[in-house]
Structure 1
Amino acid sequence: MRTLLDLILPAACAGCGTAGVGWCAECAATVAGPPVRVRPRTDPGVPCWTLGPYAGPARRAVLAAKERGRRDLGEPLGLALAHGLGRLRDGERPLVLVPAPSRRAAARRRGGDPVSRMAHAAAGWLPDCRVVPMLRVWWGVRDSVGLTTNERQHNIRGRVVARPGPGAGPRISANTEVVLVDDVLTTGATARESVRALSRIEVPVCAVLVTCSA
């Protein structure tokens, strides 16, 4: 019952703990600026952008969405993502958001995929934009928390596959901008494998945008 009440009326801001608000204006401001270009250690082969560093309110919000079932954060983090996409996109072209892949077991434990939830919220704020969840990870992929750069690369290498699922909608045309979205960018290993998997089915990614980068 406590979890249900927190979803309806969050007890405190996920970023700073202010009572009575799920995500306060001060914490929202930490991911509201223009996206910043980052260059992860593992190069995905496309430009990578972040809304802020993996620290402070942004880090706490990502962890709350992932580990504490704060599904209410999908909307405000999605709005921040939409603002960032609005600054980066070519307004003359359709936009497709592809959520980074998540392990099914992790998604079930979290009550859904927070990255997909954030992407759908962002698409709702943007004209001519849709979400196409087409990335999957094979069994055997471990949680990347605590892994070194080399271990992350080995953990995910060759284990991301791309295929449009049911309800993916019309085929993605060559005129479409495709952006890979995720909550955190660390080494870049998952982003690189995701970009590679999409390229194999002739879906070229033009950029990666994340909520925060480590």
Structure 2
Amino acid sequence: MRTLLDLILPQDCAGCGRLGVGWCAECAESLGGQPVRVWPRTDPGVPCWALGRYAGPRRRAVVAVKEHHRRDLVAPLGRELARGLAGLRTPRRPLVLVPAPVRRAAVRRRGGDPVGRVARVAASLLTDCEVASVLRADRGVRDSVGLGPMQRRRNLAGRITTPAGSLPEALRHPDAEVVLVDDVLTTGATASESIRALERVAVHVRAVLVTSAA
């Protein structure tokens, strides 16, 4: 029952631990940064942008959404993502957000795809913007925690795919700007393999935008 109540009425701030509020004003201010170019060790071949560093309230918010089912934080993270995308997109071109793939075991454990939820909030706040959740991580993909750059690349090589059949109409639009979105950019292995999977089905990714860069 306490866990259920915490989901509905969080007892402390996910960013700083302040009692009585789920996300305090001070931590909310920490999600106001502009996208900054980052260069991961594994180059995905397109520009990579991050809204902030994987530290402080931002890091704790990401972890709370992913591992502690804090869905109340999806909205502020989605609003920040929307602001970042608004500054990067080309005017008058449709925008398609492709969430990075999540392992099936993680989806079950987390009760869904947190990155997809954040992307959908962002898309709802932008004009002519859609979410296309077309990337899949095969069963052989291991949890990347503790893996080095080379191990991460080997873990993902050829194991991120798109579903068989036709792609969503949004991804086939000739003028669409496709952006891969994720919560954390660490070595760049996931982004690189995701972009290769999309290129195999003739989807050209313009950029990667993440909530935080490690």
How do 1:46-195 residues align onto structure 2 when only pairs under 5 Å count? 46-163=46-163, 168-195=168-195
**Higher mean C-alpha deviation, range 1-10 or range 201-210:** 1-10
Cα contact 2:96–2:171 (8 A) shared by 1: no
> Cα 1:108–1:167, aligned 2, differ >3 Å: closer, same or farther?
farther
The 1:116–1:156 alpha-carbon spacing in structure 2 relative to 1, beyond 3 Å, is same
Q: Which residue does 1:42 correspond to in 2?
A: 42
Would the aligned equivalents of 2:46 and 2:205 in 1 still touch at CA under 8 Å?
Answer: yes
Aligned to 1:10: 10
Contact 2:170-2:176 within 8 A present in 1 as well: no
Residue aligned with 1:181, SS: strand
Letter aligned with residue 85 of structure 1 = L
Write the distance in 2 (CA, Å) between the matches of 1:164 and 1:121.
Answer: 27
CA contact (8 A) 2:37 2:47 kept: yes
- Tell me the distance in 2 between the aligned counterparts of 1:165 and 1:21: 46
C-alpha deviations, 1:119-151, integer Å up to 9, x for none? 111111111111010000111111111111111
Distance 1:24 1:124 in 2: 24
Tell me the CA shift for residue 22 of structure 1.
Answer: 2.0
Give the structure-2-normalised TM-score: 0.95
SS at match of 1:183: strand
- CA drift at 1:167: 9.6
Instruction: Name the CA distance, whole Å, in 2 between partners of 1:195 and 1:189.
Output: 10
C-alpha deviation, 1:31, in angstroms = 2.5
Structure 2: any 5+ residue segments left out of the alignment? none
CA–CA distance in structure 2, aligned partners of residues 154 and 13 of structure 1? 38
1:123–1:130 contact (8 Å) kept in structure 2: yes
Aligned-residue CA RMSD (Å): 1.6
Question: For residues 54 and 134 of structure 2, what CA distance do their matches in structure 1 show?
Answer: 26
Alignment gaps of 5+ in structure 1: none
Conserved in 1, the CA contact under 8 Å of 2:96 and 2:132? yes
Instruction: Give the TM-score normalised by structure 1.
Output: 0.95
CA contact (8 A) 2:130 2:170 kept: no
Percent identity reads: 64
Secondary structure at 1:12 match in 2: coil
Task: Give yes or no for contact 1:134–1:164 (8 Å, CA) kept in 2.
Answer: no
User: What displacement does 1:20 show?
Assistant: 2.6
Query: 1:65 deviation in Å?
Result: 1.0
What are the within-5 Å matches in structure 2 for residues 192-211 of structure 1? Answer: 192-211=192-211
